[in-house]
């Protein structure tokens, strides 16, 4: 059994991770940490919507890392930046789903990856990760006559835009064209923008309701349009993928993965 600790256990993803960890035959819940008012001290089973398990949420990341084989973090960028070095110092692998980490966050992950295995993915769904590979392949094959636009919709409380997954699709498309996304992206359009600049990758963001995450990658040319679409209807798919990554990072009995920064492609063994 792999002991999993969960950072952000009171959040939407955190509660889903509690459920999936409790239900997984190879996983054992080591504990959970959250700083939201009223969460520390609550029974983790009750937080997951289950019976009490006699294990309470706390606010102590170091203590959680000490009793975990691997830690999963779905929180906020500043929280991930603070927690990751603590988990790495404890020598425990870490799986991170927090998005919009920025340059400071990416530097913290790179530093931790010198000490332990760090898995970060903008999206832990199996289908999304397969679609990322397909996006790169389609972008490479269709070439610059096809304009690439990426559309995403998420629930009304999402705080970053475009979503981390939309940016991951953008990076995959840019890689298919042998370029860096930062050289091609158009993240917003407003007013008299003029005609579309050839070769750019455009983004559009929708927010509303309780949408777990919809993404479309659109390849539009004169006379035809190809759309790759993924719709998540339940956060469970992200939680399951994160637990799969955690078991992979802890390698369940065969020794931990070597220090390094990994993505879901390595976890799933796909190109």
Annotated active-site residue 155? The verdict is no
Annotated active-site residue 158? The verdict is yes
Give the list of residues 6+ apart from residue 185 with CB closer than 8 angstroms, or none: 170, 200, 201, 202, 203
> Least distance from C-beta 141 to ligand NAD, angstroms?
27
* Residue listed under structure tokens 């309701």: 209
Instruction: Please identify, using beta-carbon distances, which residue of 123 and 135 lies nearer to ligand NAD.
Output: 123
Instruction: Please identify, using beta-carbon distances, which residue of 5 and 176 lies nearer to ligand NAD.
Output: 5
> Least distance from C-beta 87 to ligand NAD, angstroms?
11
Residue ranges binding ligand NAD (CB under 6 A)? 7-8, 10-14, 33-36, 74-76, 79, 82, 97-99, 121-124, 164, 238
Instruction: Please identify, using beta-carbon distances, which residue of 119 and 219 lies nearer to ligand NAD.
Output: 119
> Least distance from C-beta 239 to ligand NAD, angstroms?
8
Q: Could you give the CA distance from residue 120 to residue 175 in angstroms, rounded to a whole number? A: 19
Pairing assessment for the beta strands 201-207 and 185-186 based on DSSP bridges: parallel
Instruction: Please identify, using beta-carbon distances, which residue of 11 and 133 lies nearer to ligand NAD.
Output: 11
Catalytic residue among 3, 92, 154, 215: 154
Q: How far from 74 is each of 5, 39, 41, 145, 243, CA to CA, in Å?
A: 11, 15, 19, 39, 12
Q: How far from 217 is each of 32, 134, 249, CA to CA, in Å?
A: 36, 10, 30
Which residue sits closest to ligand NAD, CB atoms considered?
A: 11
Catalytic positions, written as ranges: 154, 158
């Amino acid at each position: 059994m792999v002991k999993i600790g969960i950072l952000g256990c009171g959040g939407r993803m955190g509660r889903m991770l509690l459920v999936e960890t409790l239900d997984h035959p190879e996983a054992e819940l080591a504990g959970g940490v959250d700083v939201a008012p009223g969460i520390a001290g609550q029974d983790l089973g009750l937080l997951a919507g289950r019976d009490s398990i006699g294990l309470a949420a706390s606010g102590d990341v170091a203590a959680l890392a000490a009793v975990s084989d691997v830690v999963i973090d779905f929180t906020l960028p500043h929280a991930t930046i603070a927690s990751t070095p603590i988990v790495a110092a404890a020598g425990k692998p870490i799986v991170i789903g927090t998005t919009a980490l920025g340059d400071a966050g990416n530097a913290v992950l790179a530093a931790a990856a010198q000490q332990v295995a760090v898995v970060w993915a903008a999206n832990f769904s199996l289908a999304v990760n397969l679609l990322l590979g397909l996006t790169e392949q389609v972008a490479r094959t269709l070439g610059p006559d096809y304009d690439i636009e990426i559309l995403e919709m998420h629930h009304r409380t999402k705080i970053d835009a475009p979503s981390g997954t939309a940016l991951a699709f953008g990076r995959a498309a840019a890689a298919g064209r042998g370029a860096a996304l930062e050289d091609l992206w158009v993240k917003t359009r407003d007013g008299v923008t003029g005609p579309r600049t050839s070769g750019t990758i455009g983004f559009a963001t929708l927010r509303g309701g309780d949408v777990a995450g919809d993404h479309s990658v659109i390849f539009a040319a004169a006379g035809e349009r190809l759309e790759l679409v993924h719709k998540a209807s339940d956060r469970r798919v992200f939680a399951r993928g994160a637990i799969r990554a955690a078991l992979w990072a802890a390698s369940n009995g065969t020794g931990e993965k070597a220090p390094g920064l990994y993505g879901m492609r390595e976890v799933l063994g796909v190109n």
